[in-house]
A and B are shown apart, each in its own frame.
Chain A
Amino acid sequence: MTAQQINKWGLVLFALFTLAAPLILPLFIDAFWVDIYSEMLIWSLLAASVNLLFGYVGLLSFGQALFFGMGMYGVAIGVAKLGLGFWPALGLGIVLSTAMSAFAGALAVRLTWHYFAIITVVFSLIFYFTALSWKPLTGGDDGLSFSMPPMLTWGEDGELSLTDPTVQYYFIITMVGLCYVLMGVILKSPLGWAFRTVRENAMRASLIGLNVYLIRLTAFIVAGFIAGMAGALFAFFGRYASASYMFYHVSGEAVVWAIIGGAGTLLGPVVGTSLLIMLREELSTLWEHYLLLVGVIVILVVVFAPKGIGGLWHGLVNKVAKPAPDAVDAKDGEDRS
């Protein structure tokens, strides 16, 4: 098999497993792993939003939790305070997070490297404290919970709602899947290649006529949209929003997930997020200092596998794979770096 075929089959297996998880997981391990799995997929979107910026445009953001929080509060405030239905609340969450990323991005992407990282932290802190102190709207410390509005109603009392665990699971994987498809399509487009030129060499990018500012801003807004979708899904998942998810600690965790999974690979964040959340679920009850182990893993990955697990996977696949017969035109979606 060629590397491309191996990756394609890997993706098919992963998709099949995801589709069948509610049936498979309870057979082998506890049923609550279905919930954990959907939670992992939601969080992987936050890591994917970090990865889109860091892995493809070269901007390291420590503030993506801000957009996660906007998506989360958009849904919770929409349902609990404004009495919105399911879809309008989802829309509100996504519009709020995307608008916030356009606003924050317009200022932040003028900077690069540590200045950029710092301003993203500052932005998320400002809104974290705003959310914490604006009690009547956000519930402050206690957060804001709501009861699930139905997705769809018909006839007398027919309704489709996330209160049904099966509906909830398939709704979440559909939305998460759509986000990855969206990113995959963008990364294979001229815009995706423009992202990479900015990561590789911003000066050369502007010398060939690319508007680096606009490209960075576009990536920042797409990343804000993805993080906002994650937050909105997470609010529906927990029927709850809380400022604690906007803290920069959450942003930092997403950076770790993205780097361990492999920055610059489309699905690396899923792997990194799943692995570390599993570790957390399994170890945190046994050993309260489990974060020490996470720290060791991060150091090992950064030192010995700087391209993360995604990079290790591609290295392995290229070793076992036959070279593609049409190597001249082979250009898969994953980046080599």
Chain B
Amino acid sequence: MSDATTPILQIDGVEKHFGGLAALGGVNAQVDSGKLTAIIGPNGAGKTTLFNVVTGILPPSTGSIRFMGKDITKSSVHEISRLGLARTLQIKSVFHGMTVRENLWIAAQSREGVFKPFKSAKSCRAANDRADGLLEELELTHLANQEAANLSYGDVALLEIGIALATEPKLLLLDEPICGMGPAETERTVAKIKELAQRIDIVIIEHDIEVVFDISDDIIVMALGTVLARGTPEEISRNAEVRSAYLGDDDA
């Protein structure tokens, strides 16, 4: 509280009820700038629901969310994206009928404005450059003219991260980015995430504990719709409550 720097994301008393069910039962959490934060917790802990509330997909029942000091509790999905908060979805979400380059291009163009009915897409220099830059950065150039529907699972995941990056986010939320990947794809994606964390703030939901402890600076443990603990990987691994609730001290 006394810290002079504002956390990039501040979540206060957020609750989300579906009928009588409390998916989030009063979440207080903050994400600090300059760190890679991981959210872990068993299935049904409310991790994805929290992402949905933060990105405006679901309105919270109560509570408030501040992004870079700005209240975004009632903002809509596209407004939040425009403030610089990007996200990937657990079920990979890209524009399947469009090529890889078109996917990246329109995400980049969304920052330049799309209500330009008389401007040729080919003449939009800024978005063209950013799309080509991302193709190179993500090593997707050889797939530039492939329809996204024809990509391998790992390439779709990479493309989705690319789409998020094309919007030039300040904070990137990744929802189980390596779930369902083989070892080689996992290694490539984890390396990419580490590299990105050097320049953007990242929050990652991940089940692979090994990966989480390897890459994160800060871990938030959720269970039953609340935050159980928050701390560095060392602190979390020593936390008795976390061990019994989640890491499975006495069971497999």
Contacts and interface: CB of A to CB of B under 8 A. Distances in A.
Interface of A: 185-186, 188-194, 196-197, 199-201, 203-212, 214-215, 218, 327-328, 330-331, 335-337
Contacts of B115: 190-191, 214, 218
B96 A197 contact: no
A200 B114 contact: no
Interface stretch (B20-28, B77-85, B181-189, B215-223): B77-85
Contacts of A190: 106, 109, 112-116, 119, 121, 124, 127
Given A203-B93, A207-B93, A189 B119 contact: yes
Contacts of B203: none
A205 B105 CA distance: 12
B86 interface: yes
A269 B97 CA distance: 21
A208 B167 contact: yes
Given A190-B113, A190-B115, A194-B106, 11 more contacts: A189-B118, A189-B121, A190-B119, A190-B127, A191-B117, A193-B102, A196-B95, A203-B89, A203-B93, A206-B77, A210-B78
B98 A196 contact: yes
Interface size class on chain B is 35 or more
B117 A212 contact: no
A204 B163 contact: yes
B107 A188 contact: no
Interface in B58-110: 76-78, 81-82, 86-87, 89, 93-98, 102, 105-107, 109-110
B55 A200 contact: no
Contacts of A200: 95-98
A207 B109 contact: no
B145 interface: yes
A197 B106 contact: yes
A199 B110 CA distance: 16
B125 interface: no
B78 A211 contact: yes
A201 B95 contact: yes
B144 interface: yes
Given A188-B120, A200-B95, A193 B55 contact: no
23 contacts: A185-B117, A188-B121, A189-B121, A190-B109, A190-B113, A190-B115, A190-B121, A192-B121, A201-B93, A203-B77, A204-B94, A206-B78, A207-B86, A207-B87, A207-B89, A207-B93, A208-B86, A208-B163, A208-B166, A210-B110, A327-B145, A336-B97, A336-B147
B117 A189 contact: yes
B94 A201 contact: yes
Do most interface residues of chain A lie in helix, strand or loop, or is the interface mixed? helix
Interface of B: 55, 57, 76-78, 81-82, 86-87, 89, 93-98, 102, 105-107, 109-122, 124, 127, 144-145, 147, 163-164, 166-167
Contacts of B89: 203-204, 207
B106 A193 contact: yes
Contacts of A206: 76-78, 81
A286 to B, nearest CB: 41
Do most interface residues of chain B lie in helix, strand or loop, or is the interface mixed? loop
B67 to A, nearest CB: 14
Contact of A204 (B76, B95, B147): B95
Contacts of B121: 188-190, 192-193, 331
A153 B178 CA distance: 73
Contact of A209 (B81, B122, B147): B81
B21 to A, nearest CB: 23
Contacts of B95: 196-197, 200-201, 204-205
Most chain B beta carbons < 10 A, residue from A186, A210, A336: A210
B148 to A, nearest CB: 9
Contacts of B55: 207
Contacts of A196: 95, 97-98, 102, 106
A211 B114 CA distance: 10
B145 A328 contact: yes
Contacts of B117: 185-186, 189, 191-192
Contact of A331 (B106, B122, B147, B164): B122
A328 to B, nearest CB: 6
A101 to B, nearest CB: 16
B131 to A, nearest CB: 11
Nearest to A186: B117
Q: Which 5 A/B pairs are nearest by Cβ-Cβ distance? A: A209-B81, A200-B95, A194-B114, A206-B77, A337-B97
Contacts of A194: 106, 110, 114
A146 to B, nearest CB: 34
Contact of A185 (B77, B96, B118): B118
B170 to A, nearest CB: 13
A197 B121 CA distance: 14
Nearest to B96: A200
A126 B127 CA distance: 44
Nearest to A190: B114
